[in-house]
């Protein structure tokens, strides 16, 4: 919804210094930024290897304008704003869980559940409209017996029935291939970001708790943070940032939690490479094999793949060095089909 703290949060994520304007539709064109994943493993590896360079992975965020009731019919430029969501992998819906009479809000009162349900309904109505129009265009070809048209018609009729019953595409068991073709908004995974008051970082207020209960019923993840506070934290140098978080009793910032949740939501993971020149996290899809991971570094490494020398980040931290791991037999050799794991530190052996 407008004025829930989306752009303030986006600016904090991307390190922007200008906070959002305090009026609805402050964002018109979508803002795009790739946010580095603050990976504590890399900082630790940097200490162990005394490395010159640290390279994290990033998650791409797109900040679109606030949606309102009737967006699927064009209210508040809703059709244009909804179109900005079609190409993303997942959605993070920011909901306002704080009271502040100095910040205007859409509707008669601050109600995060009502806001979430309005957005959910507008996404559903947009998908219903798309599916209905697509079905109409296929009628002639399906009646003439074209196999692909008939299959698409059956898919769309199933989707339309579900949408009319208030069921999002992600819960309908629809064909993943055809769902990707039609790019249904409600097929995308969703997480909620509860923007709480700076005095309620744990989300214990009635507004925050109601949103936590709602997300649980929806089977969705939720991240609690204060966008205003996160914007301030984002401007601090690294050492001051750690001290400030510690004073709040936090191990990581809300932004870090959001980026980690975003990575998980879109099914991404990472493996690590480490040495004195560079410690780096490499972005991969869950289920990536060793040879595919090698190709992320360079296609020649994948082409000439011999084996992967792998050890665990946790083992390295426990024993302190690669030499100690070798002595204890904790470095293993894996072949092409090995499935990469989140804490793997790897060196690929290959023919040049």
Length of the chain: 352
297 vs 75: which has the higher pLDDT = 297
CATH class of the domain at 1-36+60-268: alpha beta
pLDDT at 288: 96
Q: Is the pLDDT confidence value at 193 over 60?
A: yes
> Percentage of the chain surpassing pLDDT 90?
52
- pLDDT bin (cut points 50, 70, 90) of residue 33 is confident
The residues that bridge with 192 in the sheet, in sequence order, are 93, 222
Q: What is the residue extent of each domain of the chain?
A: 1-36+60-268, 287-350
> Mind listing the pLDDT tens digit for each residue in 247-268?
888 888 898 889 889 888 988 8
178 vs 22: which has the higher pLDDT = 178
- pLDDT bin (cut points 50, 70, 90) of residue 208 is very high
Q: Is the pLDDT confidence value at 101 over 80?
A: no
> Mind listing the pLDDT tens digit for each residue in 132-181?
999 999 999 988 889 999 999 999 999 999 999 999 998 999 988 888 78
pTM above 0.75, yes or no: yes
Q: Is the pLDDT confidence value at 23 over 60?
A: no
On the question of a common fold for 1-36+60-268 and 287-350, the answer reads: no
287-350 architecture in CATH? Roll (3.10)
Structure tokens at 10: 């986006």
């Amino acid at each position: 919804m407008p004025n829930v703290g989306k752009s303030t949060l986006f600016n904090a994520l991307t390190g922007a210094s200008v906070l959002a304007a305090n009026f609805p539709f402050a964002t018109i064109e979508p803002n795009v930024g790739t946010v580095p994943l603050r990976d504590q493993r890399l900082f630790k590896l940097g200490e162990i290897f005394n490395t010159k360079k640290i390279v994290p992975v990033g998650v791409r965020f797109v900040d679109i304008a606030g949606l309102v009731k009737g967006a699927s019919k064009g209210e508040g430029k809703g059709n244009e704003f909804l179109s900005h969501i079609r190409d993303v992998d997942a959605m993070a819906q920011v909901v306002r869980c704080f009271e502040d009479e100095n910040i205007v809000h859409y509707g008669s009162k601050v109600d995060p559940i009502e806001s979430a349900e309005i957005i959910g309904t507008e996404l559903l109505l947009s998908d219903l409209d798309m599916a209905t129009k697509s079905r109409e265009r296929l009628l002639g070809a399906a009646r003439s017996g074209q196999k692909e048209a008939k299959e698409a018609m059956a898919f769309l009729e199933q989707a339309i029935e579900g949408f009319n019953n208030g069921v999002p595409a992600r819960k309908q068991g629809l064909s993943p291939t055809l769902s990707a073709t039609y790019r249904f908004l409600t097929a995308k995974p969703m997480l909620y970001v509860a923007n709480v008051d700076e005095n309620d970082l744990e989300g214990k207020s009635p507004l925050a708790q109601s949103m936590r209960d709602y997300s649980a019923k929806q089977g969705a993840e939720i991240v609690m943070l204060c966008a205003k506070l996160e914007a301030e934290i984002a401007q601090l140098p690294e050492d001051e940032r750690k001290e400030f978080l510690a004073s709040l009793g936090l191990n990581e910032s809300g932004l870090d939690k959001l980026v980690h949740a975003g990575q998980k939501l879109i099914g991404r993971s990472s493996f690590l490479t480490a040495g004195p020149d560079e410690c780096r996290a490499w972005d991969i899809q869950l289920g990536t094999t060793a040879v595919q991971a090698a190709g992320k570094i360079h296609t020649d490494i994948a082409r000439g793949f011999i084996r992967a020398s792998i050890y665990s980040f946790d083992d390295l931290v426990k024993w302190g060095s690669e030499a100690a791991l070798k002595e204890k037999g904790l470095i293993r050799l894996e072949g092409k089909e090995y499935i990469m794991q989140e804490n793997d530190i790897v060196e690929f052996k290959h023919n040049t």
